[in-house]
Amino acid sequence: MKTKVLWIQGLACNGNAHSFLTYSKLEQFLDDFEFIYHPIIDSKFTLSDIVNNFCECEILLIEGSIADDYKRSHKSIVEIIKLYAPHVKKIVTVGTCATFGGIFKDSPYENSSGFLYLEKEKIDKFLEYEDKVISVSGCPVHPEVLVNTLYMIKDKLELPIDTFHRPKEFFSFTVHNGCTRNEYFEYKVDNHNFGEKEGCMFYDHGCQAPFTNGSCNKILWNEVNSKTRVGQPCMGCTEPEFPRINLYETKKNMGIPQYLPFGVPKRAYLTLSGVAKAFKISRLEEELF
Ligand code: SF4
Ligand code: SF4
């Protein structure tokens, strides 16, 4: 039997809805799930139907940040969520805006935030539904991570979550894990031009992957690629503070990056980087030029 799913949008750019459309096995997905409403895919009900009457569904997907005075089809987004949240089995926040507030947390709308969080801070807007929440952050959401999460819910599989309700299956390691540039990271060789195949982008170009949870280098986008593989730094889009300013710059204090890889104390970093710098691996340096 198809699982009924409702996809509603708060303050959003449609990016997650579009990203979802790139899922390579979408037809198969639609054999197993039915959208009672989706902003782009043909669905059973109109937006006006679903905001004015409760239409039966099992999973509520929320895209975009939620502001007290923001409306869809003349109804407050908060009221729409409260119409469905008590009845569904799970609430999935799709993308970073719905999870942490994202770029819209600075919008002129009132109290714009994620569903449970404003950046790292837990808020009480929908706290009573906390037990149902699964967060799939990302800007945009990784379609395969979203779909696999939905299948895990449908198949009633165990779904351990981290402190921000993100499934550990996809968020318990960093984007640095699986990057093809790890050897350059180890020996502190940065790359010098965007788009180059060689070099690590942590030391000068702002790559946030060592402190960003996600599976972009383990589950490739469109099954072929990731940002860091094409020579673009990870911007940390799955994390509460996204977006930071100066995305392509590594902020440093006395030559030491301000943000260090998760779990690496500053003292250990200094020791390791001192040792790594002592090596001049000509094979790695030469590949850059
Ligand atoms: S480019 Fe980024 S993800 Fe790749 S090795 Fe360097 S820090 Fe890690
Ligand atoms: S590589 Fe980084 S910025 Fe790009 S989608 Fe993955 S987590 Fe987001």
Q: Which residue has the tokens 């995305």?
A: 247
Question: Do 121 and 203 belong together in one domain?
Answer: no
Question: Do 23 and 61 belong together in one domain?
Answer: yes
Question: Do 135 and 163 belong together in one domain?
Answer: yes
Q: Which of 204, 199, 201 is nearest to 284 (CA)?
A: 199
In a domain, 243, yes or no: yes
Q: Is the model's pLDDT at 280 over the cut of 80?
A: no
Question: Do 84 and 181 belong together in one domain?
Answer: no
Q: What is the pTM of this model?
A: 0.93
Question: Do 144 and 235 belong together in one domain?
Answer: no
What pLDDT score was predicted for residue 246? Answer: 86
Q: Per residue in 198-214, pLDDT tens? A: 899 999 999 999 999 99
* DSSP tag of 30: H
Residue 110 — very low, low, confident or very high, per pLDDT cuts 50/70/90? Answer: very high
Q: Per residue in 43-58, pLDDT tens? A: 999 999 999 999 999 9
Q: Which residue is closest in CA terms to ligand 2's atom 2?
A: 234
Rounded to whole angstroms, how far apart are CA atoms 123 and 135? Answer: 15
Mean pLDDT of 267-289: 73
In a domain, 98, yes or no: yes
In a domain, 86, yes or no: yes
Question: Do 146 and 224 belong together in one domain?
Answer: no
In a domain, 119, yes or no: yes
Q: Which residue has the tokens 């730094």?
A: 233
Who wins on pLDDT, 192 or 144?
144
Domain count, the chain: 2
Who wins on pLDDT, 165 or 289?
165
Rounded to whole angstroms, how far apart are CA atoms 63 and 44? Answer: 19
CA 239 to chain centre: 7
Q: Is the model's pLDDT at 190 over the cut of 90?
A: no
The CATH number linked to 228 is 4.10.480.10
Question: Do 184 and 163 belong together in one domain?
Answer: no
Question: Do 77 and 13 belong together in one domain?
Answer: yes
Boundary-marking domain end, from 145, 171, 197 = 171
Rounded to whole angstroms, how far apart are CA atoms 11 and 109? Answer: 9
Question: Do 148 and 188 belong together in one domain?
Answer: no
C-alpha pair distances (Å), 35 with each of 3, 38, 102, 196: 8, 6, 25, 41
Boundary-marking domain end, from 144, 171, 198 = 171
Rounded to whole angstroms, how far apart are CA atoms 199 and 219? Answer: 21
| Pocket of ligand 1, beta carbon within 6 A | 175-176, 179, 181-182, 185, 200-202, 207, 209-210, 228, 234
Task: Among 142, 237, 241, say which to mutate for ligand 2: greatest number of ligand atoms within 8 Å of CB.
Answer: 237
The CATH number linked to 10 is 3.40.50.700
In a domain, 105, yes or no: yes
CB 118 within 8 A of CB 76: no
Question: Do 164 and 194 belong together in one domain?
Answer: no
3-class SS at 208?
A: coil
Q: Is the model's pLDDT at 288 over the cut of 60?
A: no
Question: Tell me, what amino acid is at 116?
Answer: L
In a domain, 289, yes or no: no
Determine the structural domain holding residue 218 and report its residue range: 174-284
Boundary-marking domain end, from 117, 151, 171 = 171
Alpha helices, DSSP H only, in 155-265?
A: 168-171, 182-186
Question: Do 107 and 64 belong together in one domain?
Answer: yes
What are φ and ψ of residue 87, in 5° steps?
-100, -25
**What separation in Å is there between the alpha carbon of 4 and the centre of ligand 1?**
39
